[in-house]
Amino acid sequence: MPVTSRTVNTYVQHLIKYKYMTNPTKPLLHPGYKLKDKLSVVARVEKIFFTEVYSLSNDKFLYLFTNIQQDEIIDRSQKYDLVHLEISGKKYLGVITDEHSHDKITAIIDDLTVLRGFDCVAGMRPLKAMLMNDVIEPLMNPEKYKKFKLGIPNGILLFGPPGCGKTFIVKKLAEQLGYSFIEMNPSSVATSYVHGAVGNIGKVFEMARLQAPSIVFIDEIEGLIPKREELSSSADIKKEEINEFLLQLNNAGSSKILVVGATNRPHMIDTAILRSGRMDKRIFVGPPDLEARRDLFKICLSGRPYDKKIDFEKLAKMSENYVGSDIELIVTEAARAAVLEDEQMVNEKMLINAIKKFTPSISVEEIAYYSQFGDLERS
């Protein structure tokens, strides 16, 4: 199509309209605005919804977020070059970045505001610290550990009573590492075909290699790796399955695969899996600690009307050995009481009465039972 004056005018009108739609407001920062020593704003590049993009004097970019407050972001300050500005009495958060794209803005906003990995795990600080130091750090910095002839974990075993969040923790571990998550259930491996289960185990690990780095998670691992000495003499096929799994486990680390098993019955697992070089780290996962229980009460009450003066610390202290499902039951019972008593909100007294009404699903005897396996842990 030939270019005419009318075509040019139409094109200019579209540009003006586009600019008005993307930059309808006056920039918050003027050219020359000083951010840091020897770093200033050159110009606003564009405005995308609630984000203003500025070019800077060092050839980098500033994303200035107009709708994200400081208390809304997750503390990842070491990952990003954050700037905090106050303009006309209002506080703003910005991120200095090397490049600019719409996808990058979305990724940074998600990373700053969406809980991932261990940020999602309430409390349990000692457990998270152990996983960070003994599992995540070696996997993320293998060369540093190899230099001192320290082994990289091949697999870990989580053991403890049911309902304490073992599966949830493993999924968050995968997010923390940035690993693919592959779950292998003993029931899904089983087959009516002779030697079929052996082949299925191999297929799972082949998938893990294709998606590496990855975590292969086996819940109720005692179903897959029972004690061989307790199997009948005719259970040769099951022994073949155990041997196949142990073989795959031995080679997992070299393929960037971390194998994680979880069990409520550690005494039923074949001891061969606990040898050095296999499940290198064995960790007890008990009921939620004080901090976790406090957060669980808040989580379970969210979305329901409740008295903001509730002493969550007090509730947490009263609910020792209660697991997440217990606390959810307590909050539901308190909410039901609020309805029956024609109250406007759940109050502390209702929650205390509910705690007194229900006993924890894990008994003191069960906790003592798991303490027998304390020698499985390595500090």
Kindly report, residue by residue over 213-252, the tens digit of the pLDDT.
999 999 999 988 888 887 776 567 778 888 898 999 988 8
Domain 5-114 listed as CATH 2.30.110:
no
pLDDT in tens, 166-214: 999 999 999 889 899 999 888 777 664 545 678 889 899 999 999 999 9
Do the strands 180-183 and 81-87 form a parallel or antiparallel pair, or are they unpaired? Answer: unpaired
Pull the structure tokens for residue 334.
Answer: 């308190």
Q: What is the dihedral of CA 30, 36, 40, 41, to 10 degrees?
A: -50
Using alpha carbons, select from 274, 36, 276 the residue that is nearest to residue 151: 276
Same topology, domains 5-114 and 150-284? Answer is no
98: confidence class by pLDDT, cuts 50, 70, 90:
very high
Q: How confident is the model at residue 125 (pLDDT cuts 50, 70, 90)?
A: confident
Q: Among the listed ranges 33-37, 118-122, 291-295, 362-366, which one has the minimum average pLDDT value? A: 118-122
Q: What is the pLDDT of residue 187?
A: 74
Domain boundaries defined on the chain? 5-114, 150-284, 290-361
Shortest CA distance to 97 belongs to which of 86, 116, 87, 112? 112
HEC sequence for the chain: CCCCHHHHHHHHHHHHHHHHHHCCCCCCCCCCCEEECCEEEEEEEEEECCEEEEEECCCCEEEEECCCCHHHCCCCCCCCEEEEEEECCEEEEEEEECCCCHHHHHHHHHHHHCCCHHHHCCCCHHHHHHHHHHHHHHHHCHHHHHHCCCCCCCEEEEECCCCCCHHHHHHHHHHHHCCEEEECCHHHHCCCCCCHHHHHHHHHHHHHHHCCCEEEEEECHHHCCECHHHCCCCCHHHHHHHHHHHHHHHCCHHHCEEEEEEECCHHHECHHHHCCCCEEEEEECCCCCHHHHHHHHHHHHCCCCECCCCCHHHHHHHCCCCCHHHHHHHHHHHHHHHHHCCCCCECHHHHHHHHHHCCCCCCHHHHHHHHCCHHHCCC
Tally the residues of the chain: 379
| 290-361 to CATH, choices 3.90.1170.50, 3.40.50.300, 3.30.1280.10, 1.10.8.60 | 1.10.8.60
Checking if the pLDDT of 128 tops 70, the result is yes
Query: For domain 150-284, which CATH number applies: 2.160.10.10, 3.20.20.190, 3.60.21.10, 3.40.50.300?
Result: 3.40.50.300
- CB-CB contact of 312 with 298 (8 Å): yes
pLDDT of 191 reads 60
User: Which amino acid type is present at position 340?
Assistant: L
> Band of the pLDDT at 19, cuts 50, 70, 90?
very low
Do strands 214-219 and 257-263 pair parallel, antiparallel, or not at all (unpaired)? Answer: parallel
- Is residue 10 scored above 50 in pLDDT? no
